[in-house]
Amino acid sequence: MIAPIVKEPNPLLHQKAVDVQKITLEIQKLVDTMIETMHAAEGVGLAANQIGSSWNILVASADGKRGKELVLINPAIRKRRGRDLSPEGCLSVPGVSSEVLRSAQVTAAGLTRKGETITVEANGLLAKILQHEVDHLQGHLFLYRLGLLKRRRLLQKYLSLADTLNRVRV
Ligand SMILES: [Zn+2]
């Protein structure tokens, strides 16, 4: 199933996710929907609140290969190393992007779709995706990582674009 993507401004994007206590069939179906929705949107990562769920789950696919997606339930970033400044965008804030300062490498931990504990050493694009999605699950958009003026400017640009798109649809 492909779900609609929640866009800014929506309060769900600003709420902290809730940890999954038990991996049920419902949770596994949610994970599958997240994976399909991410690919359908040509995204490289997705957080559960981006499709309207408050569970603490992310999916990532740095190489876009189906069947090779990374699923992290209750993800946590344990270690950060180095710095990386590179462009970033977001499926929930379409039409705008900016360079964002992130850690170059991260160690992340969480549970798989089957409930097994895993630790992931990530660098490059995957490290960036994991930080972006964990931010989502904390209730923060990538814009939150920018200075106030730049954040305001990008939000205004996004809102005027969204307004135009809505008018075209009507
Ligand atoms: Zn995003």
Question: Domains in the chain, start-ordered, CATH in brackets?
Answer: 11-169 (3.90.45.10)
Query: 117 C-alpha vs ligand 1 centroid, how far in Å?
Result: 24
Measured between alpha carbons, how far is 44 from 90 in angstroms, rounded to an integer?
10
Give the model's pLDDT for residue 11. Answer: 96
pLDDT over 80 (residue 164): no
Query: 44 C-alpha vs ligand 1 centroid, how far in Å?
Result: 10
Q: Residue 27: how many CA atoms within 13 Å on its side-chain side?
A: 21
88 is catalytic: no
Which residue has tokens 């008018």? 167
Query: 5 C-alpha vs ligand 1 centroid, how far in Å?
Result: 10
Instruction: Indicate which residue of 36, 69, 99, 133 is catalytic.
Output: 133
pTM as predicted: 0.95
Query: 121 C-alpha vs ligand 1 centroid, how far in Å?
Result: 21
pLDDT above 70 coverage of the chain, percent: 96
Which residue has tokens 């769900």? 12
More confident: 125 or 166: 125
Residue 140: pLDDT band with limits 50, 70, 90: very high
